[in-house]
Amino acid sequence: GDGTTSGGDGDGDGDSDGDTGGGETTMIRVMHLGVGVPEVDVFANMTEPAAVTDLDYRVGTGYLELPPADYTFQVALAGGTPADAAIEAGPLTLDAGVKYTATAIGALDDANLEILPLIDADTDVPAGNLRLQVVHAAPAVGQVDIWEVTDPDNPAALLEDVDYKASGSLDVPPAVYNLGIDVDDDAMPDLTFTADLSGVPEGTFINLFANNDAMGGVALVAQLPDATVLVIDPN
């Protein structure tokens, strides 16, 4: 379940300068957030072998380096073939010099699995900051607001009216953040999470997913540039 990748360098070093070899290549990684979905293989353009094998739930890969082109991606249960794909996405145009995350989201039981493509806009992060791309990837939860509640007397709305599959970016300094998710639009967080980002280097790009498990419980899932994934349970 380590999400082995093939092709490119796949080292997942996630250099934050966005340099992908003079703009002649594109880079893409895969994140598995499909609720109730076992390990999967990921194929590009129906080509064997799989670009990614045995990718487990809430696990991500490093970046694969590919020629810029239109790609169709197939996600199949591990050990299958592209013809057994549970979901397919594309064609997606992958542009030169751009980084992407292809995220498997939805729930197997609800038959709403799909691939959500994200652009990892990791360049031009202001000095002294890191960049959070906050993504609503919890199919069991409706529209939400994201709050910063470290000071309970002065809560601050970070992102409002975020629909399922929507995202927004925040540039914030490395620190410990108490984040709240409000699911009923009453300006009172229903769940709070403590995200210790104090040791994250400046300039780092992080995908921060709100994702529910098969029991409906919501966690924050942080995807770092080096393929590390951190699951932050509610307080």
Q: Tell me what percent of the residues of the chain surpass a pLDDT of 90.
A: 80
Who's near 13: CB < 8 A, 6+ residues apart?
62, 63, 225, 226
Model-level pTM? 0.88
pLDDT of residue 21: 42
179-185-186 Cα angle (round to 5): 90
Span 21-48, pLDDT tens digits: 445 899 999 999 999 999 999 999 999 9
pLDDT of residue 73: 94
d(CA 180, CA 220): 11
Distance of CA 231 to the CA centre of its chain: 12
Who's near 201: CB < 8 A, 6+ residues apart?
130, 174
Who's near 180: CB < 8 A, 6+ residues apart?
146, 147, 148, 149, 155, 189, 190, 191, 192, 193
Span 180-216, pLDDT tens digits: 999 998 888 999 999 999 999 999 999 999 999 999 9
Average pLDDT score over residue span 137-157? 92
Q: What is the mean pLDDT of the chain?
A: 90
pLDDT of residue 151: 87
pLDDT of residue 5: 56
| Length of the chain (residues) | 235
Does 119 have pLDDT greater than 90? Answer: yes
d(CA 111, CA 37): 11
Per the model's pLDDT, the better-predicted residue between 30 and 9 turns out to be 30
Average pLDDT score over residue span 3-14? 46
d(CA 51, CA 65): 11
Does 14 have pLDDT greater than 60? Answer: no
